[in-house]
Amino acid sequence: MHTFRQERRWTLIELSLAEVALAVNGEIYRGDPSGPVSGVSSTDSREISSGDIFFAKLGANDNGHRFLDEVFSKGAALAIVSEPSDSVDIDQIVVSDTVEALSALANEVLARVRSSSFLTVIGITGSNGKTSTKNMLAEILKPVGATVAPKGSYNNKVGLPTTVLKIDFDTRYLILEYGAAGPGSISKLAEWSRPDISVILKVGLAHAGVFGGLEETAKIKAELVHHTSQHVVLNFDDPIVRDYRPAGEASFSGFGFDSSAHTRIIDTDISLGGTVVRVQIGNSDPEVLRLNILGEHQAMNAAAALEVAEYLGLDRVQSFDALEKMELAERWRMQLTKTSQDFYVINDAYNASPDSMRAALQTLATIGRSGHRTLAVLGSMAELGEISDQEHRSLGLLLVRYNIDKLIVVGQDAKILHLSATAEGSWDGESAFYGSVEAALPAIRGMLLAGDVVLVKSSNVSGLRFLGDDLAGVT
């Protein structure tokens, strides 16, 4: 079977300048209305190449219009602007809001492709695991048909339409991540992108401080379900998610350890060699899935991807094979490296929530039971609001109960985690605190011995992912 390679440079389906202006509800300020437009769209001037479309975004800390000279020098064919310029000789369409215009153009392109091709749109949301699940599903789908998936975590009002604008009439599958940014944020994107299939992974405390608690988060995640036309894949282990129901005639199915899940995980075996998952799909006999990726939570992500593949009627052997060939879910997501000094680093410091912290520490503790000394290098969990102290304190107690050998806490925002762990009577000196990455790095290096396993985890803002890279020798 032919494998569609994803390295090619995606381009917009060809439209005229006048068609683009109509789609974004804008006016042509400069340029030939009949001229063709077919370049990549981006709000980032660093990503612009010859023939591309630049959306000059007004941000909280910057103004994209100041990069018009730069994108013109790189050969950009068109700028979508709210502040037109006579000093730059580049075609321009003027709109009231360039971010809204980005979604409007993506909406038009998606509608055209859908009307004349066999495109299937798959949406993924959840408090944890979106990017890993997206990557797993993409690996399953790419050998079957041309697949477009988000780069990194392109899951917001800029990243999602930017991903949509990569499709063309040959695209078979479009995978979209839906990140939450408050009530109505997922709905606003889903009402025009209208996924055929959606996956709801988990409702957790990842943004509870921003959204106002778990109940409000649950309502936001449910927005994707309401805009799904065919089928919804639900995490049956999550008591909130398992009760979601799609609208109209759309069907649903489940994944997880729960006995009623269609793709059911029977058990897992986690080691430095990866995660062995025994899984039963429907009424079939249990099968073994051997992931190179660490963690029971990654087994859950794989089960979600497999359940989508089952609904699509894909060959199960090929789906298993695609997952087993993956070396990494995503950079900084349970990224395992064996160093030249023979200790191991698990860099999972792209984001952190109470749920993902517990999952990563559970994996570390499981590995520790096989004879490895375990060290947890932890930073803060962001966006927890008034429950932040409580959740960091609980994490400190959990570390002790998991019998992690050494805790290194980095950053003032996470200090309560260190204080909580040291207050537990069964610990005496096993926790250390450093105010910065710069102070922590040499101290951690001095602790490490051959055979040690180091987990590095924090929210993105803490910057511990770079500390993890330094420890692992990864560039």
Domains, in order of start, for the chain: 15-98 (3.40.1390.10), 117-324 (3.40.1190.10), 335-472 (3.90.190.20)
Average pLDDT, integer, range 221-226 = 93
Residue 307's nearest CA partner among 252, 266, 346 is: 252
Bridge partners, 407 (sequence order): 376, 431
The pLDDT assigned to 3 comes to: 36
pLDDT class for 4, splitting at 50, 70, 90? very low
The pLDDT assigned to 205 comes to: 56
Distance from C-alpha of 345 to C-alpha of 361, rounded to nearest angstrom? 13
Q: Which pTM value belongs to this model?
A: 0.91
Average pLDDT, integer, range 444-472 = 94
**Nearest 5°: CA angle at 419, between 416 and 423?**
140
- Listed in sequence order, the residues at least 6 apart from 137 whose beta carbon sits closer than 8 Å to its beta carbon are 122, 124, 149, 175, 199, 304, 305, 308, 309
Check whether 2 has a pLDDT greater than 50.
no
Bridge partners, 271 (sequence order): 274
Looking at per-residue confidence, does 325 or 350 come out higher? 325
The pLDDT assigned to 204 comes to: 65
Asked whether the beta carbons of 188 and 157 are under 8 A apart, the reply is yes
Asked whether the beta carbons of 69 and 77 are under 8 A apart, the reply is no
**pLDDT tens digit sequence for 134-177:** 999 999 999 999 999 998 878 899 999 999 999 999 999 999 99
Check whether 260 has a pLDDT greater than 60.
yes
pLDDT class for 61, splitting at 50, 70, 90? confident
Average pLDDT, integer, range 440-463 = 94
Asked whether the beta carbons of 428 and 455 are under 8 A apart, the reply is no
Distance from C-alpha of 70 to C-alpha of 467, rounded to nearest angstrom? 33
Distance from C-alpha of 341 to C-alpha of 325, rounded to nearest angstrom? 26
Q: What is the DSSP letter of 150?
A: -
Average pLDDT, integer, range 402-425 = 92
The pLDDT assigned to 106 comes to: 97
Check whether 388 has a pLDDT greater than 60.
yes
The pLDDT assigned to 6 comes to: 41
pLDDT class for 181, splitting at 50, 70, 90? confident
Residue 263's nearest CA partner among 246, 287, 284, 279 is: 279
Cα 297 to Cα 457, 458, 463, distances in angstroms: 15, 17, 23
Looking at per-residue confidence, does 217 or 85 come out higher? 85
Check whether 258 has a pLDDT greater than 90.
yes
Hey, what are 51's tokens?
Answer: 């023939």
The pLDDT assigned to 31 comes to: 96
pLDDT more than 90, % of the chain: 81
DSSP 317-379: HHHHHHHHT-S-SBTTBSEEEE-TTS-EEEE--S---HHHHHHHHHHHHHHHTTT--EEEEE-
Hey, what are 395's tokens?
Answer: 């994490």
